[in-house]
Amino acid sequence: DHHVNYGSGSGLQDRVAFVQNDPGQHDASIRLADLQVSDTGTYQCRVKKNTVAVHEVIVTVQGEPPRP
């Protein structure tokens, strides 16, 4: 549907974007920016073209990387 559903109160609106400008061109990959420990959880990707495909991914954020 060319949009991301962030869920309620997730705080992801400014940190999630499609990798490609037009996900209808066979790549609906997303990028999560500035990950935080609170982002740990199960994320669901639902792609609807001719049929609906659903895939769940578990993301675990363990902590901030050391600063260079």
One digit per residue, the tens of pLDDT, for the chain of length 68 reads 666 777 665 678 888 888 887 777 777 788 888 888 888 888 888 777 788 888 898 989 888 778 88
Residue 4 in any domain: the answer is: no
pLDDT on residue 60: 92
pLDDT on residue 8: 64
Please give the residue range of the domain that contains residue 39. Answer: 16-59
Residue 51 in any domain: the answer is: yes
pLDDT on residue 1: 62
pLDDT on residue 58: 92
Residue 55 in any domain: the answer is: yes
Task: Count up the domains in the chain and report the number.
Answer: 1
Residue 44 in any domain: the answer is: yes
Residue 45 in any domain: the answer is: yes
Q: What angle do CA 62, 56, 14 make, to 5 degrees?
A: 60
The single-letter code of the amino acid at 33 is A
Residue 64 in any domain: the answer is: no
